[in-house]
């Protein structure tokens, strides 16, 4: 992909490195994350527009603590330090970092000097920020102007705009620092002089050109899951190469109500993509018969998916020169895998293993520089249906891992009906986009006593698991309005005869996971 010069976010082990990168992109500036162990020479080979040093858990004076090579500040590239990165920057440039014993964690008030520099110009002199530090910068490096202070940090912000350097002791990337995004934008646009040109329109134009250059006249295949990532990746490739792309949709019979039809009807209508549908529901349910162990379910579904996709891929390949496979790899996947290289392993919604050795493809990964929210924005720009663009993440094994017990048509029917009620009510409340994911779980192996129609019943409980998250690495249960939860419960127990109890899962992640299996 043709991309602008990146802002490199140097990760010192902060939990917020990806969030910093996302905030940079929200300022319409392209960013990438690199490890603190990357040599300065290698960073410079990426031709960065600026560098941001992230926070981290260490003290700059601990043995083995990551340091900043002083050569970084001789490279002529603007640098912004955050928290630990701020302290490491100060130490490398000759300032003083002290352990004062005045630790600051959480919401903290700072006194800024709006007239002293660029970052705080026009902003309130007293403002709340999010701190997380034990050490502090007590003396700024020579040439720097101190632009903010707090009770525990005599130097809470500094800048030397003549060299393109600035930094803050607090975390501007989190929502708890109300003016944080403004500060980041001031550094990027005014101190570093980077134009805000990273837009979805530019991403589309750049990717279309890159895909055409990579694919040429060859044929391309893509496995559609109905999820956002594969749908947007396929739409982008189709925009680039048209009918050279064939999508394969394996309907394993484990999707929620209406989702298979959405792929077969709405997606094709919106994109005009060639779609090969494989109805494999009977095959998957036959393989899952009698199975209740979660890991065994996953392995069976993964194995069967590979076999079905392989057969479909061979049929498509028999009709032309198919040399490329589209994968919906996202930037967090690339970061977590250390670069995301290799031959074609179907990332698919199942995260299963690779294709056989005699059926290898080169990968086309048009989303590998994007975060999830950017993928949604890209899908909207490509004209995909809103209900597909904003579809909540859904596990590859589908409803199979939301049934605690055996996966069969009877249990799937119960869960689909309950899940549909929850989705309908969430949408009607206008809270779809406030929730990251909303699993509904059927406890098929559990019966609870109830009273319905003046009679005693022994029905199944279902669990509502609405969660809020930035990236699914951590999550918290969504505080949905009580009246909404009540409507969902009432409708499920009224409309799904087999269910007589609805419960709410209020566990965060960690310790719990988002899915139950």
Active-site residue list: 83, 171, 173
The residues near 276 (Cβ < 8 Å, ≥ 6 apart) are: 246, 247, 248, 249, 312, 315, 316
Judge whether 354 and 316 are in contact, CB under 8 Å.
no
| Strand stretches in 333-383, DSSP E | 362-364
* Main-chain phi, psi angles of 463, to 5 degrees: -110, 130
Distances (CA, A) of 51 to 10, 75, 461: 7, 11, 52
Q: How many helices (H) and strands (E) does the chain have?
A: 15, 20
Measured N-to-C along each axis, helices 372-381 and 228-241 cross at an angle, to the nearest 10 degrees, of 50
Residue 458 tokens, joined: 């022994």
| Helix, strand, coil tally for the chain in percent (to 5) | 35, 25, 40
Nearest to 19 by CA among 496, 498, 372: 372
Judge whether 368 and 253 are in contact, CB under 8 Å.
no
DSSP code per residue over 126-155? EEEEEEEEEEEEEEPPTTPEEEEEETTEEE
Judge whether 288 and 300 are in contact, CB under 8 Å.
yes
CA distance 503 to 444: 14
Judge whether 405 and 443 are in contact, CB under 8 Å.
yes
Nearest to 10 by CA among 34, 27, 30: 34
Nearest to 20 by CA among 244, 198, 171: 171
The residues near 186 (Cβ < 8 Å, ≥ 6 apart) are: 118, 119, 121
Cis before 510? omega within 30: yes
The residues near 318 (Cβ < 8 Å, ≥ 6 apart) are: none
* Main-chain phi, psi angles of 157, to 5 degrees: -165, 145
Only one residue has tokens 């709006």, namely 114
CA distance 476 to 466: 9
Judge whether 165 and 159 are in contact, CB under 8 Å.
yes
The residues near 357 (Cβ < 8 Å, ≥ 6 apart) are: none
Q: How many CB atoms lie within 10 A of CB 482?
A: 8
């Amino acid at each position: 992909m043709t991309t602008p010069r990146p802002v490199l976010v140097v990760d010192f082990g902060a939990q917020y490195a990806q969030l910093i990168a996302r905030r940079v992109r929200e300022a319409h500036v392209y960013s990438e994350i690199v490890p603190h162990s990357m040599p300065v020479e290698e960073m410079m080979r990426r031709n960065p527009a600026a560098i941001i040093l992230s926070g981290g858990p260490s003290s700059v004076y601990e043995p083995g603590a990551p340091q900043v090579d002083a050569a970084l500040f001789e490279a002529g590239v603007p640098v912004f330090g955050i928290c630990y990165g701020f302290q490491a920057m100060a130490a490398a440039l000759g300032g003083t970092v002290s352990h004062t014993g005045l630790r600051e964690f959480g919401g903290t008030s700072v006194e800024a000097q709006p007239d002293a520099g660029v970052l705080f110009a026009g902003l309130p002199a007293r403002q709340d920020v999010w701190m997380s530090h034990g050490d502090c910068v007590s003396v700024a490096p020579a040439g720097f102007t101190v632009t903010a202070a707090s009770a525990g940090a005599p130097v809470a912000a500094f800048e030397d705009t003549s060299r393109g350097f600035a930094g803050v002791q607090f975390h501007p990337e989190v929502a708890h620092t109300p003016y944080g995004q403004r500060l980041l934008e001031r550094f990027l646009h005014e101190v570093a002089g980077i134009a805000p040109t990273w837009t979805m329109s530019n991403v589309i134009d750049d990717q279309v050109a890159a895909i055409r250059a990579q694919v040429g006249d060859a044929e391309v295949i893509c496995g559609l899951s109905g999820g956002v990532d594969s749908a947007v990746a396929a739409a982008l490739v189709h925009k680039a190469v048209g009918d050279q792309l064939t999508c394969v949709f394996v309907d394993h019979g484990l999707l929620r109500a209406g989702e298979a039809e959405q792929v077969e009807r709405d997606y094709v209508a919106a994109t005009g993509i060639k779609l090969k549908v494989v109805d494999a529901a009977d095959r998957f349910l036959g393989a899952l018969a009698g199975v209740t162990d979660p890991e065994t379910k996953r392995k069976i579904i993964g194995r069967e998916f590979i076999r079905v996709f392989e057969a479909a891929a061979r049929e498509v390949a028999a009709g032309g020169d198919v040399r490329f496979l589209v994968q919906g790899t996202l930037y967090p996947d690339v970061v977590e895998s250390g670069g995301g290289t290799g031959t074609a392993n179907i990332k698919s919604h199942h995260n299963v293993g690779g294709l056989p050795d005699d059926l290898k493809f080169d990968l086309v990964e048009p989303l590998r520089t994007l975060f999830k929210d950017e993928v949604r924005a890209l899908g909207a720009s490509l004209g995909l249906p809103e209900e597909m663009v904003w579809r909540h993440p859904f596990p590859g094994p589908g409803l199979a891992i939301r049934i605690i017990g055996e996966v069969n048509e009877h249990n799937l029917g119960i869960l689909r009906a309950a899940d549909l009620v929850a989705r309908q009510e969430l949408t009607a409340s206008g809270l779809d986009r406030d929730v990251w994911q909303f699993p509904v779980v059927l406890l098929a192996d559990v019966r609870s006593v109830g009273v319905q129609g003046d009679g005693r019943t022994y029905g199944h409980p279902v669990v509502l698991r609405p969660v809020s998250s930035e990236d699914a690495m951590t999550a918290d249960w969504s505080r949905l309005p009580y009246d909404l939860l009540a409507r969902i419960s009432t409708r499920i127990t009224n409309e799904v005869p087999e269910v007589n109890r609805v419960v709410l899962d209020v566990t965060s992640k960690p310790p719990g996971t988002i899915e139950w299996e």
